[in-house]
Structure 1
Amino acid sequence: MESERGTGRGRDRDEVGRARSGRPRDGLGRPLAYGAEGVARQPEGVVRAPDATVREAQRLLDAGMPFHAHEVFEDAWKSGPDGERDLWQGLAQLAVGLTHAARGNATGGARLLRRGASRVEEYGRGGAQTYGIDMAGLAGWARRLAGRVETAGGPVDAAAEAPRLTGPGH
């Protein structure tokens, strides 16, 4: 990535010229100072099978990196079938909601958690699972966390609050 800092243009650009920050990021996706030690960024535009998307996102959620899990879900919504766009967007919203809650933004976190819950809930009607995810259970997790975040304020521990996408543990 090429930096244009100091050139008068003030923006970093990727290899095809799109504006993209070259600053390192922490585990919650917050930009750090240039030269600081950050976490590895998720590559953009990776096309994965749905099960691989869920596994990679779970790995990142378990590591307390919901912002990075959101990027995995974003790739799925951009590359997947149109009929699954709401599913992947809802999962991305849940990850971003957890990100905001972990950053201490209770209002934004709760709002995104509820918005994501509404989207994924549509895929869990009648107890159905999609790609092994208990959508109704996941929506319930998101709404409970949203309520706790609004009540308590303050940041939450992203790894401790991360949902289990498949299997028991919402």
Structure 2
Amino acid sequence: MKPTANDRGRDRDDEGRARSARPRDGLGRPLPYGAEGVPRQPEGVVRDPAETLREAQRLLDAGMPFHAHEVFEDAWKSGPESERELWQGLAQLAVGLTHTARGNAAGGARLLRRGADRLAGGRPGSPAAGAAYGIDVGGLVSWARELADRTEAVRTEGVDPAPVDAATEAPRLRRDTL
């Protein structure tokens, strides 16, 4: 669906849902209309779990965690209900990294912890599904909590932490190679 501007100047699709047509940078931040942006992830793509993990890892490695989040979002919307917690937890980790890379340490840490808690087994389905796909659930939980701790520690010293480099900080999703 192609976005169109409504009478209030907002980008909307044919059904009236908000769809920003503004270009975005690699961290998903809106750029001015007409600026050169990063191609957006198509919405509603149905992938099998291996394809989801490969595409998300590619985007994470490229320093584009916002786009990886969109891949995980497609997985939770199109996958079985029993795996929803897994894909939502992974999406929260990607958004947490996005915010941390944008310089929003508090928001990033909060989302990293929320995703880690979701994956850590406080909710049914996520660890078992993750293990079935070779996802390093324990490693991801540790990575997310360590990054959240690190950014919060700098903040409590009265210094706003510098944004992290999303590509350098990107986690490995699977224990094996993709």
TM-score over 0.5 for the alignment?
A: yes
Structure 2 residue 171 is matched with structure 1 residue 163 = yes
Equivalent position amino acid for 2:139 in 1? G
Instruction: Specify the alignment match of 1:70 in structure 2.
Output: 69
| C-alpha distance in structure 2 between counterparts of 1:50 and 1:82, whole Å | 14
Instruction: Specify the alignment match of 1:13 in structure 2.
Output: 12
| 1:122-160 per-position Cα deviation (integer Å, ceiling 9, x unaligned) | 2447xx724111101110000001011112322100000
Structure 2 length as normaliser, TM-score?
Answer: 0.87
Unaligned runs of 5+ in 1: none
| C-alpha distance in structure 2 between counterparts of 1:2 and 1:95, whole Å | 26
Unaligned runs of 5+ in 2: 155-160
Query: What are the within-5 Å matches in structure 2 for residues 4-153 of structure 1?
Result: 4=5, 8-122=7-121, 123-124=126-127, 129-152=131-154, 153=161
Instruction: Specify the alignment match of 2:157 in structure 1.
Output: none
Q: CA deviation at 1:70?
A: 0.2
Instruction: Specify the alignment match of 1:3 in structure 2.
Output: 4
| Seq. identity, % | 72
Kept after mapping to 1: 8 A contact 2:56/2:71: yes
Kept after mapping to 1: 8 A contact 2:4/2:14: no
Equivalent position amino acid for 1:155 in 2? P
Equivalent position amino acid for 1:30 in 2? R
Deviates more, 1:9-18 or 1:74-83: 9-18
| C-alpha distance in structure 2 between counterparts of 1:87 and 1:8, whole Å | 40
Instruction: Label 1:2 to 1:83 Cα distance change in 2 as closer, same or farther (>3 A).
Output: closer
Count of residues in Structure 1 that have an aligned counterpart in Structure 2: 165
Kept after mapping to 1: 8 A contact 2:3/2:20: no
Instruction: Label 1:2 to 1:78 Cα distance change in 2 as closer, same or farther (>3 A).
Output: closer
Equivalent position amino acid for 1:49 in 2? D
Kept after mapping to 2: 8 A contact 1:124/1:134: no
Kept after mapping to 2: 8 A contact 1:129/1:135: yes
Q: CA RMSD in A?
A: 1.7
Kept after mapping to 1: 8 A contact 2:92/2:112: yes
Kept after mapping to 2: 8 A contact 1:105/1:154: no
Instruction: Label 1:82 to 1:121 Cα distance change in 2 as closer, same or farther (>3 A).
Output: same
Kept after mapping to 1: 8 A contact 2:85/2:119: yes
